[in-house]
Chain A
Amino acid sequence: MSTTRIIGIGNADRGDDAVGPTVIRMLAQAPPEGVVLHTARTDMLALIDTWRAEDQVFLVDAVAPAGSPGRVVRIDASRTPVATELDSFVSSHGFSVAGAIELARALGRLPARLLVYGIEGAGFEPGAPLSPAVSRALPQLVSYLQADCIACTRPH
């Protein structure tokens, strides 16, 4: 039986990198029925073992600034490769999210559905709070996730 999982990625103490764990905390207030919530902050290689082949998975992570902080991008990683710079798979924290997804794809271990929600950050300073732009984007992001979860968990 498939499980719907939402995985919030990031460091809660580094500015907008906290958006993933913050979304998980907000969803935990009224967890969507039948949805398992996770957070991940360091070893992304372990993501591959977080999901099973039949699962529906939503990853929430901050993405690099590109001029529109708070902008939400939604990538269907089940169909589209997410890594653009293959050599950048390993960061100072071990393995990158994109690296883990593409390794899972090469090994045939992607879940049935994998959506990546990227939220463009403004700053990632140690100890800083979320930026105003990312904070303002949170309610909309949570409503997108809830709607996607309902669509996933509804009998069909």
Chain B
Amino acid sequence: MTERRRIKVDYLARVEGEGALDVTIDGGQVTDVRLKIFEPPRFFEALLRGRHFTEAPDITARICGICPVAYQMSAIHALESACGVTVEGPLRTLRRLLYCGEWIESHALHVYMLHAPDFLGVHNVVEIARSQPAIVERGLRLKKAGNAIVALLGGREVHPINVKVGGFYRLPSKAQLRTLREQLAVAREDALATVAWVAGFDFPDFHRDYELVALRHPAEYPFNEGRIVSSRGLDIGQSEYHDHFEEHQVEHSTALHCRLRGRGHYHVGPLARFVLNHDRLRPLAREAAASAGLVTDCRNPFMSIVVRAVEMVQAIDEAIAIIDVVELPAAPAVAVEPRAGTGLAATEAPRGLLHHTYRISADGLIEHAQIVPPTSQNQATIEDDLRAFIAPRTGLPDDDLQWQCEQAVRNYDPCISCSTHFLDLRVTRR
């Protein structure tokens, strides 16, 4: 007699946004996995049409409360490209500092508050706080350090308001940067301790043959610039994105799925960045990765939590280095005059590659906007992971299987709000 089981999570916890997971197991075989994103569509691309190009950083910052800087950065780079402007020098460096802040606050939130409870076998961070308060306090200090950078450069901690096409509205003072540096020096030690902490977690023996996709820059671990490369030889400019990547609709998700044309699903995010760019890490972060046992061709998505911790070391160490050398520019921004054209740009959001495309008119009005968030790009890969992960585990009781499936989804730190753009789990066993 065959058994039909259905595991259903109607509302996935510890993810940003609203979604569900529906798994069907028929006679011990996984027959269907659906990551169902039911958060309503948010129509940001339509909201942008008809607006002046200078409004895009403030509108796109509203897409996400966790990674607004990523949306602003992809938007401004695409729009500056459309206008034929490249922002160089200290303004570019200060943008990089702002992006460091977002990685630190987003990764600290995910590592400590969202994902660590899975590895420690507890329901939430409050349970960790009861038994190990010093660890949670460390996570809070890290998040606060990231917030401090975003508040100083971005004007406030969430949905920054100080970013514009061409630069910033106002610049921080040297004294403010020196004060920030003191906080970051403590945070750097906290981040190194975080790497050692998460490296001690138990990781399932689970490896996937992903095509990893990330930006790659000649000299830097990627934030704002670089070519789009993959572990299978893709190497394209940012303006060639739509020639190689395509979005498509699936019935069970309000977020579009993505694939590489003729190649299929792919994986973006910290693991992809690390594997493709480990040689671009700062020495302190590279040493931390090595001491954590992180192999440079890692394909275990559960190790993403270790990569996030390493990337916190990277971001904090880089932020300190920037503060130590940056000379504040005379003006907070360069002038950007509109011209009819199209601009495409990708930056590395905490969750992975974030690509924006804009077409603007000669008077600077946005005629077309297309935003491809990392969670959209990872949806099909998350479903593939779950099929492979569940197959040898179908004998587990529903509760255990559900827990492990949710943990596997959280490897991606899915930001459902951004991608609809997430999670309840349902397993049906037949």
Interface residues of A (CB under 8 A from B): 42-43, 45-46, 48-49, 83, 86-95, 99, 102-103, 105-108
Contacts and interface: CB of A to CB of B under 8 A. Distances in A.
A38 to B, nearest CB: 14
A126 B143 CA distance: 29
B125 interface: yes
A48 B140 contact: yes
A108 B133 contact: yes
Interface string B147-159: 1000000000111
B417 A92 contact: yes
B18 A92 contact: yes
Contacts of B129: 103, 106-107
8 contacts: A43-B65, A43-B158, A45-B143, A49-B144, A87-B123, A89-B125, A90-B16, A106-B126
Contacts of B157: 42-43, 46
A45 B144 CA distance: 10
Nearest to B125: A103
A92 B147 contact: no
Contacts of B140: 45, 48
Contacts, number: 72
B133 A107 contact: yes
Given A42-B65, A45-B143, A46-B147, A90 B14 contact: yes
Contacts of B124: 86-87, 89, 99
B109 A94 contact: yes
Contact of A94 (B66, B123, B133): B66
Contacts of A45: 109, 113, 140, 143
Nearest to B158: A42
Contacts of B39: 92
A107 B136 contact: yes
A106 B133 contact: yes
A105 B124 CA distance: 14
B254 to A, nearest CB: 14
B13 A88 contact: yes
Nearest to B114: A90
Contacts of A48: 140
A102 B65 contact: no
A5 to B, nearest CB: 19
A95 to B, nearest CB: 7
A92 B422 CA distance: 9
Given A86-B126, A90-B15, A106-B129, 18 more contacts: A45-B109, A46-B157, A83-B126, A86-B123, A87-B13, A89-B113, A90-B14, A90-B114, A92-B17, A93-B65, A94-B65, A94-B109, A94-B158, A95-B113, A99-B124, A102-B126, A103-B129, A107-B133
Given A87-B13, A90-B13, A90-B113, A99 B159 contact: no
B409 interface: no
B152 to A, nearest CB: 15
Contacts of B287: none
Contact of B14 (A46, A87, A92, A103): A87
Given A42-B159, A102-B126, A92 B16 contact: yes
| 7 A-B pairs with the lowest CB-CB distances in the bound complex, closest first | A106-B129, A87-B13, A42-B158, A92-B417, A106-B130, A92-B17, A102-B126
Nearest to B417: A92
Contacts of B130: 106
B137 interface: yes
A86 B144 CA distance: 23
B141 to A, nearest CB: 10
B137 A107 contact: yes
B371 interface: no
A105 B65 CA distance: 25
Contacts of A105: 126
Contacts of A89: 14, 113, 124-126
Contacts of A49: 144
A153 B144 CA distance: 31
B416 interface: yes
Interface string B61-94: 0000110000000000000000000000000000
B275 to A, nearest CB: 28
Nearest to B11: A88
B410 to A, nearest CB: 11
A49 to B, nearest CB: 7
Interface in B108-139: 109, 113-114, 123-127, 129-130, 133, 136-137
B405 to A, nearest CB: 15
Interface in B33-66: 39, 65-66
Nearest to B110: A90
A105 B114 CA distance: 19
A102 B129 CA distance: 10
A26 B417 CA distance: 32
A92 B136 contact: no
A93 B65 CA distance: 6
Nearest to B128: A106
B147 A43 contact: yes
Given A43-B158, A99-B126, A106-B130, A94 B16 contact: yes
Contacts of B113: 45, 89-90, 95
Contacts of A83: 126
Contacts of B109: 45, 94-95
